Structure 1
Amino acid sequence: MDPFKQMGDWKKNLDHFFGESFWGEFEGIIKPAIPQINLYQSDHELLCIVNMPGLDDLYQIDIYVDYATLELKGTIDLNQFGKTAVKEEILQGVFERKISLPFPVRADKIKATYKNGLVFIQLHRLISETSRKNKVNVRLLEDD
C-alpha cells in the first residue's frame, strides 16, 4: 500500500472533520515559508531583511510592493550538483511569498540592496491613498 496515498486520505478525513482551514494553521510549522524574513518597524519606515543564500544573479529574486503588501518571488538554489546531501537544513527552491505590511508604503521611495546573503528592503510610510504595484530593483552593495 502506498504510504503517501494513506497520508492524503488521512489529511482529507481531518479536513472533513475539522474544516478546510484546519491545515492552514499548521502550514508554517510543517513546511516553513521561504525565504525567511525579519521585518523591523519605526514610526515612518520599515526594514525587511530577506535570507537569500547563494544569490549569484540579482534577477533570481523579484520584489514587488503594492500598498501594504510586499511580494517576493524567485529561487534559492545552492548549486551543489553531483554531490549527495548528507544533511540539509537550509531551505531552498522556488518561492512566492506575500508579506502583509503594518502600514501602506510609498512606491517612489523603496531601496533594495544585497550583501552577504541578505536582501535589505527599505520602505517608507505612505501618506496619500493612491497606490499601484511596483517592481523593485536590487543592487549589489559593495564591500567598504
Structure 2
Amino acid sequence: MDSFKHMHEWRQNIDRFFGESFWNEFDSILKPNIPQINIYRKDYEILCVINIPGIQQIKQIRCEIDGYHLRLQGEIELPAKGYELIQEEIIQGSFNRAIELPYRCREDKVHARYEHGLVFVKLYKDVHDSNKSKTISIEEGEQ
C-alpha cells in the first residue's frame, strides 16, 4: 500500500471541497518567507533590515525598489559542504520576494549596505507619483 498516494488523494479531496486557494493560507506556516525582514518607520523614512546570511559577494543579492514594493532576489547558501544536515532552522536556497511597503518610496533616494549577514535598506517616502523602478546598489561594511 502506497501511503503517499493516499495523502495525494486526501489533498485533492480538500482542494475540491475548500477550493485550490485553501492551501495558500498555510504557505507562511508550511514554508516561511525568506529572507526574513523587519521594517521600521520614522517620519518620512523607512528602514528595512533583511536577514541574508552566507553572502560571499554582494552581487549575489538583487535588490530593487518599485514604488510600494521592495523586491529581493538571491540565494542563501551556508558553507557546510561535506556534512549531513540534521536540523535546519536557518532557511537556505533561492529566494525571490516582494515586500509591500507602508507607502510609496522614492527611487532616487535609496541607501543600502550589507553588514554581518544583514542588509540595511533606507528608503524615503515619495510625495510625487511615478511608475518607475530602480535597482539598488548594496555597499559592504559599516556605516
TM-score, structure 1 length as denominator? 0.92
Q: Which residue of 2 aligns with 1:88?
A: 88
Distance 1:131 1:61, change over 3 A: same
Which runs of no fewer than 5 residues in structure 2 stay unpaired? none
Q: Give the 5 Å matches for 1:106-117.
A: 106-117=106-117
CA RMSD of aligned residues (A): 1.5
1:24 match: 24
| Bigger mean CA deviation after superposition, 10-19 or 28-37 | 10-19
Which residue identity lines up with residue 63 of structure 1 in the other structure?
C
Distance 2:52 2:102 in 1: 23
Amino acid at match of 2:99: I
In the TM superposition, what is the alpha-carbon distance from 1:63 to its structure 2 partner? Answer: 0.5
- Note the C-alpha offset of 1:58: 0.4
CA distance in 2, matches of 1:19, 1:125: 39
One-letter identity of the residue aligned with 1:81: K
Deviates most, 86-95 or 11-20:
11-20
Alignment: residue pair count = 143
Alpha-carbon offset, residue 3 of structure 1? 4.2
Q: What residue in structure 2 maps to residue 97 of structure 1?
A: 97
Q: How does 1:1-144 map to 2 (within 5 A)?
A: 1-142=1-142
- Seen in structure 2, the aligned counterparts of structure 1 residues 120 and 5 have a Cα distance that, compared at 3 Å, is farther
Q: 1:12 to 1:103 in 2, by over 3 A?
A: same
Q: Is this contact kept in 2: 1:70–1:101, CA < 8 A?
A: yes
Partner AA of 1:16 in structure 2: R
C-alpha distance 2-92 of structure 1, shift in aligned 2 (>3 A):
farther
How many angstroms apart in 2 are the aligned matches of 1:6 and 1:61?
41
Alpha-carbon shift at residue 73 of structure 1 (Å): 0.5
Structure 2 residue matching 1:6: 3-state secondary structure: helix
Given that 1:104 and 1:126 are in contact with CA atoms closer than 8 Å, whether structure 2 keeps it comes out as: yes
Q: Secondary structure at the residue paired with 2:48?
A: strand
Identity score, percent:
44
Return 5+ residue gaps in structure 1 as ranges. Answer: none
The whole-number CA distance in structure 2 between the counterparts of 1:122 and 1:9 is: 48
Distance 2:115 2:32 in 1: 23
Counterpart residue type for residue 94 of structure 1: S
